[in-house]
Amino acid sequence: MAQVFEATCSAPVNIAVVKYWGKRDTSLILPTNSSLSVTLSQDQLHSKTTIRASESFTEDQLWLNGKQESISSNKRLVACLRETRALRANIESKDESLPKLAHLKIHICSENNFPTAAGLASSASGYACLVFTLATLFDLRLNASELSIIARQGSGSACRSLFGGFVAWEMGQNDDGSDSKAVQIAPETHWPELEAMICVVSDAKKGTSSTEGMQLTVKTSPLLQHRIKEVVPRRMEDMIQAIKDRNFPRFADLTMQDSNQFHAVCLDTYPPIFYMNDISRAIIRIITEYNKSGVKAAYTYDAGPNAVIYAPRENMPEIYALLSHYFPGAAFADSLGMLKEQKKDWTPADIQGFDTGISPIFSEASVKQILHTKAHDGPRVLGTEHSLLNAEGLPK
């Protein structure tokens, strides 16, 4: 019988509060600025990957969400495989007793527990999971920062998903990318009151991908140069301090300002790129009105119309009441049990000083889904019972 080696792992999504947008090296994926994110709980959103190495396999194969995909045409995936196999080969060359895995063909099977169509950050959790699972299979014994250097070459934002909690991606200076890595600013236990609400906004059209969009911004936006040189270095320091101090109003101001500037550099791109729509902008108006008498929530948007709202737990029932008033019919995932604490007959008019005329009420299911989640841990090694491959090495 051919010997079989296998690992199954899961990895989380992260949502940036200081955005990565722009590369100085597109093949090594080296960014034009540092960034910072919060890793979200895998209970709501995660990627799960099984990788098996076997002498009986004749070629490397990949299945993504049930569909077979080419490996060789995906340069980023090839880079992650090349890097991890080279490290394994090096370990094997120093220790004769180790099984020879570096030269074996592998089968990779990966799934997200959320629909890719929802436009949530699947490349971040996907590549973090791929690299973490390869490192587990090959027993590479690298720390999360070292692994982040490899995951970065799959997708920039993936490097931050190697850690739980609050994570910075230090842009680094070296041409070979050896210092462009993720570091943990604080673990998830540092700020347990901080939670997130993800609003999945309906959007039929497929927008510009991050990868393409950010390079058009690098090429054409003068505002990006100001952001890179003047704004982000200072903002990173301020954000790290706000997190260390658990200073929510400061954290929120910086988060909203950075989201606004990211979308401003998109507008400054020529031709311009739009990611937010009328619903996204209505959510900004609602949160701004809610914050009028003191900052209680922070919105942020990535390369799509979905809103992520960060807020202390105690404010979440109010925020949910606001959102469900203006966006009726949104499916709400109450996995943190928040609704149980909410007053049943609650409306925006109950919030003192809130001008309910700030936005029209949108039609049914303009916001399709609301996910309530929070900061949580990094990638996990799972037991063999979680394997996605059957005895033949094909998806179950």
For ligand DP6, what does the binding mask look like between residues 118 and 137, x meaning CB under 6 A?
-----x--------------
CA distance 232 to 258: 9
The dihedral through the CA atoms of 204, 208, 209, 210 has a sign that is negative
Which tokens hold the place of 50? 């099984």
Closer residue to ligand DP6 (CB): 123 or 359:
123
Q: Applying CB under 6 A, which of residues 16, 108, 134, 371 lies at the interface with ligand DP6?
A: 16
Which tokens hold the place of 119? 């436009």
Instruction: Report yes or no: 300 and 308 within 8 Å, Cβ to Cβ.
Output: yes
Q: Considering only residues 19-58, where is the footprint of ligand DP6 by CB under 6 A? A: 19-21, 29, 35
CA distance 289 to 103: 59
Q: Considering only residues 189-228, where is the footprint of ligand DP6 by CB under 6 A? A: 210-211
Q: Applying CB under 6 A, which of residues 171, 185, 284, 303 lies at the interface with ligand DP6?
A: 303
Q: Tell the smallest beta-carbon distance from residue 294 to ligand DP6 (Å).
A: 28
Q: Tell the smallest beta-carbon distance from residue 41 to ligand DP6 (Å).
A: 17
Question: Should residue 88 be labelled a site residue for ligand DP6 when binding is judged by CB under 6 A?
Answer: no
The C-alpha R_g of the chain, in whole angstroms, comes to 22
The dihedral through the CA atoms of 48, 384, 102, 378 has a sign that is positive
Tokens 């041409």, located at residue: 175
User: In Å, how far from its chain's centre is CA 245?
Assistant: 24
For ligand DP6, what does the binding mask look like between residues 136 and 165, x meaning CB under 6 A?
-------------------xxx--------
Identify which range of 12-20, 65-73, 85-93, 137-145 contacts ligand DP6 by CB under 6 A.
Answer: 12-20
Closer residue to ligand DP6 (CB): 27 or 335:
27
Instruction: Report yes or no: 51 and 171 within 8 Å, Cβ to Cβ.
Output: no
Closer residue to ligand DP6 (CB): 19 or 376:
19
Closer residue to ligand DP6 (CB): 41 or 210:
210
CA distance 1 to 13: 38
C-alpha angle 349-353-354 in degrees, rounded to nearest 5: 50
Closer residue to ligand DP6 (CB): 119 or 393:
119
Q: Tell the smallest beta-carbon distance from residue 77 to ligand DP6 (Å).
A: 12
